[in-house]
Structure 1
Amino acid sequence: MRPDVPAAAFVPAAPAIPVATVAALGLTQIIGYGTLYYSFSILAPGMAADLGLSVEQVFGVFSASLFVGGLSASFIGRWMDRFGAAMIMTFGSLLSALALLMCAWSPSIAVFAASIVLLEVASGMVQYQAAFAALVESRPRAAARSITYLTLIAGFASTIFWPIAASLGEHFTWREIYVAYAALNLAVCLPLHCWIMRNRKAQAATSTHEDRAAVVGALPAEARRRGMRLVSLAFALEGFALSAMLTHMVPMLGTIGFGTAAVVIASLFGPAQVLSRLINMAFGKSLSPPALATLSAGLIVAAVVVLGLSGTWLPGAAAFAICLGLGSGINSIAQGSLPLWLFGSVGYGAITGRMAATRLAAGATAPFVFSVLMERFGIDVALTANALLGAVGVAAFVAVAALARPVGEQAARKGG
């Protein structure tokens, strides 16, 4: 295989995906995102009241923890390349449970803050970054399709856990809920990640040579640095816009005037994620990963604009949640498929780790910054600022597409 020819040119047929691994990871992603991320915004008011903090300060702690988690992403990526993603996910499940228990026990603000930071580090070891790397390790040439199927399953995380957190919050304290979440990570995620780790050798023995063959990236060596910068910038800006919306979605909709209907409206987000992935599976084969990423960023910006213009109009709020879900669903696929398409499967963990570090570090400021903007300047100003940043992200993805197109065409001519 010549390194100057795109990987797609060498794939004779769609390789088989590791179905059992994808299903197991789908369940652990639902639990991982539900317990470690989506529930926080609903439980935050209870945390603030219990600890004697303002909600704004609680989100400040959360933003700081996201920043530290982002800084750790590059190290975690290198560990995955060295020790295997499944092993990192196994230890990550244990660390997630310990961090949740530590947070539930925390007798002081300092211990609470340290627990939340530890929780975000653990998140990087068990969520999409690690799951995508595990799929790339298992069968590189089937990874793009496997990622699509995985995100299809995991798209239900918010739909399941937002109502669960809201319902549990009516009967239990946030500390008791976190203890239950810790048990869920120990009883379900830890054994499944351990099974994936042990099953890796068996999968390697039954897969074909074509399945195990490395994927070659579309970018040549001289274009990789520029491509890395553009993709990292684009994902960082998109991550900021999306993080601000997801963290504040339920309380923001409540503040706008939707009251108890806010949870119902927000629950449209999850099915929309799944719908976008179904549409991509059925009709998205002709879209390149850069085009897919650009579409994702555009949908997220459109969602913010719709909410800002619709005010208390219920159909507008529903359109916002659906549009945001569509963009987020495609974004999750792009996070896994675009780096694989551009840079290949060799060193995939380290490459996505560096990208995740930039994206998470930028997105870490979103919950706090957006909270401050809402509190001091109002929701309209906060939404406008978020839409503008997202629009810059769209432009960055367009630049990525412009860089990749001539490189890919040139390589194809050489291969012909």
Structure 2
Amino acid sequence: MSEAKGTVPVATISALGLTQIIGYGTLYYSFSILAPGMAKDLGMSLEQVFGVFSASLFVGGLSAPIIGKQMDRIGAATVLTIGSMLSALTLALCAWSPSIVVFALAVVLIEVASGMVQYQAAFAALVESDPKTASRSITYLTLIGGFASTIFWPISAALMGYLTWREIYLAFAALNLFVCMPLHLWMARKGRAAVAAGTKRAREHVVGAVSPERRRGAMIVVSAAFAILGFTLASILAHMVPMLGDLGLGTAAVVVGSLFGPAQVLSRLINMIFGTRLSPPILAVIAAALMVVGIIILGVSGSWLPGAVAFAICLGLGSGINSIAQGSLPLYLFGSDGYGTITGKMAAARLALGAAAPFAFAAAMQSLGIGLSLFATAALGVVGMAAFASLAMTTRRGLVAAE
């Protein structure tokens, strides 16, 4: 893989892979590990700390369309650069926070910064770099980024034995400032140099499969489908380990839950090797189907260990493919023009709805029980799967008619 025209931009993917691991690890995955220390230090309950986090996810969703428009206006790599600096500043603000109010404000700002440095922006940067190879590049990037939780969960837990959560956040701020920001700045300068040299003009445009007159309807369907699947996944992930314990798996719940991350990476590796002939709409259908099947298996099997293992693996496989579809499906349907704006609108619906998922699923488990809650969540996932299937059939008919 070289940087020549028509090939995957390996240097860009490598740089983004490192920054995605750091971005997700420091801004997202570490929070659940550090939350108990935050709660104790600030005199809050753990539920209140996670309530602040959920509110920040909602605000982050509202900011996503604005961030997406800026990507199209000034370039995704420039947004990534600014986002890295903002990530460092907000982590430092959170580490300093002398009160609950400042802490809550800092957590909200961290989530806004996250929208500028995580997958939404990284996918746009790959489209900006070379739309023709962006779908493959997104697959490679998600394969690397999938190791964020595997790396930063144990790192955060280990550091808690030596440092306070405030000191850890200061260290994480340094990673964003001194590792991520220079790499993003290099990408931004490289992109400007390519434009100045006239080497980027020939590879700047990809035409979407959806005709202009059907664009609005397709946008609504795909945004709703991703939001529904995001809600489904967030509902389960927020309660996975304690839910498995309540089902009767005991100490095995942690082991079963840990299978989710490797399954995500495995699905991306399989797709990278064998999935090149599958269109993004079909990938989205497969992702939804795997998540739904996994949830149904757990609902049926209950405390049966093999069933729980199958659930965690299916959910991880589906989640891994879904991450790829979030980047490749908008490019396939709507093309490269305005990609940042389009994905920003989709992210807004997905993040805003996903923010309510942990509370909604917790309430459902209390009133309906775990089994019925799982089946209700699976039914919701079927709706998302049906929406993706309708897109797959519609675009296929359109492509056949155009031939």
Q: TM-score, normalised by structure 2?
A: 0.91
Matching residue of 2:342: 351
Provide the rounded CA distance (Å) in 1 between the counterparts of 2:177 and 2:306.
Answer: 40
Matching residue of 2:302: 311
For residues 385 and 62 of structure 1, do their structure 2 counterparts lie closer, same or farther at Cα, with a shift above 3 Å needed?
Answer: farther
The yes-or-no answer on 1:396 pairing with 2:394 is: no
Segment of structure 1 superposing worse, 43-52 or 370-379: 370-379
Provide the rounded CA distance (Å) in 2 between the counterparts of 1:403 and 1:108.
Answer: 53
The yes-or-no answer on 1:272 pairing with 2:254 is: no
For residues 300 and 203 of structure 1, do their structure 2 counterparts lie closer, same or farther at Cα, with a shift above 3 Å needed?
Answer: farther
Matching residue of 2:206: 215
Q: Counterpart of 2:210 in 1: which secondary structure?
A: coil
Unpaired runs of at least 5, structure 1: 1-12
The yes-or-no answer on 1:296 pairing with 2:267 is: no
Matching residue of 2:16: 25
Matching residue of 2:28: 37
Matching residue of 1:327: 318
Give, as a single letter, the amino acid of the residue that structure 2 aligns with 1:56.
Answer: E
Provide the rounded CA distance (Å) in 2 between the counterparts of 1:282 and 1:181.
Answer: 34
Give, as a single letter, the amino acid of the residue that structure 1 aligns with 2:127.
Answer: V
Segment of structure 1 superposing worse, 276-285 or 251-260: 251-260
Shift, 1:319, TM fit: 2.4
For residues 369 and 14 of structure 1, do their structure 2 counterparts lie closer, same or farther at Cα, with a shift above 3 Å needed?
Answer: farther
Q: Counterpart of 2:7 in 1: which secondary structure?
A: coil
Give, as a single letter, the amino acid of the residue that structure 2 aligns with 1:165.
Answer: S
Q: Counterpart of 1:214 in 2: which secondary structure?
A: coil
Segment of structure 1 superposing worse, 46-55 or 403-412: 46-55
Matching residue of 1:65: 56
The yes-or-no answer on 1:95 pairing with 2:86 is: yes
Provide the rounded CA distance (Å) in 2 between the counterparts of 1:190 and 1:248.
Answer: 34
Is residue 28–residue 189 contact of structure 1 (8 Å, CA) maintained in 2? Answer: yes
Matching residue of 2:160: 169
Shift, 1:325, TM fit: 1.6
- Once the two structures are superposed, residues 375-404 of structure 1 have per-residue CA deviations (whole angstroms, 9 ceiling, x without a partner) of 665544443332222222112112222322
- Once the two structures are superposed, residues 314-340 of structure 1 have per-residue CA deviations (whole angstroms, 9 ceiling, x without a partner) of 433332222122111111110111100
Shift, 1:166, TM fit: 3.0
Provide the rounded CA distance (Å) in 1 between the counterparts of 2:241 and 2:37.
Answer: 14
For residues 213 and 297 of structure 1, do their structure 2 counterparts lie closer, same or farther at Cα, with a shift above 3 Å needed?
Answer: same
For residues 34 and 308 of structure 1, do their structure 2 counterparts lie closer, same or farther at Cα, with a shift above 3 Å needed?
Answer: farther
Provide the rounded CA distance (Å) in 2 between the counterparts of 1:258 and 1:374.
Answer: 17
Give, as a single letter, the amino acid of the residue that structure 1 aligns with 2:381.
Answer: G
Query: 5 Å matches for 1:1-400?
Result: 15-203=6-194, 205=197, 210=202, 212-253=203-244, 256=247, 262-374=253-365, 378-400=369-391
Q: TM-score, normalised by structure 1?
A: 0.89
Provide the rounded CA distance (Å) in 2 between the counterparts of 1:237 and 1:350.
Answer: 20
The yes-or-no answer on 1:405 pairing with 2:390 is: no
Is residue 91–residue 106 contact of structure 2 (8 Å, CA) maintained in 1? Answer: yes
- Once the two structures are superposed, residues 76-107 of structure 1 have per-residue CA deviations (whole angstroms, 9 ceiling, x without a partner) of 00000000001101111111112112222222
For residues 223 and 410 of structure 1, do their structure 2 counterparts lie closer, same or farther at Cα, with a shift above 3 Å needed?
Answer: same
Segment of structure 1 superposing worse, 56-65 or 358-367: 56-65
- Once the two structures are superposed, residues 342-368 of structure 1 have per-residue CA deviations (whole angstroms, 9 ceiling, x without a partner) of 100011111111111111111111133
Provide the rounded CA distance (Å) in 1 between the counterparts of 2:214 and 2:239.
Answer: 38
Provide the rounded CA distance (Å) in 2 between the counterparts of 1:307 and 1:281.
Answer: 28
Matching residue of 1:4: none
Provide the rounded CA distance (Å) in 1 between the counterparts of 2:283 and 2:364.
Answer: 30
Provide the rounded CA distance (Å) in 1 between the counterparts of 2:19 and 2:328.
Answer: 20
Give, as a single letter, the amino acid of the residue that structure 1 aligns with 2:280.
Answer: P
Q: Counterpart of 1:219 in 2: which secondary structure?
A: coil
Unpaired runs of at least 5, structure 2: none
Q: Counterpart of 1:39 in 2: which secondary structure?
A: helix
Q: Counterpart of 1:42 in 2: which secondary structure?
A: helix
Give, as a single letter, the amino acid of the residue that structure 2 aligns with 1:287.
Answer: L
Is residue 194–residue 200 contact of structure 2 (8 Å, CA) maintained in 1? Answer: no
RMSD: 2.4
Identity value in percent: 68
Is residue 135–residue 147 contact of structure 1 (8 Å, CA) maintained in 2? Answer: yes
Provide the rounded CA distance (Å) in 1 between the counterparts of 2:94 and 2:246.
Answer: 28
Segment of structure 1 superposing worse, 362-371 or 114-123: 362-371
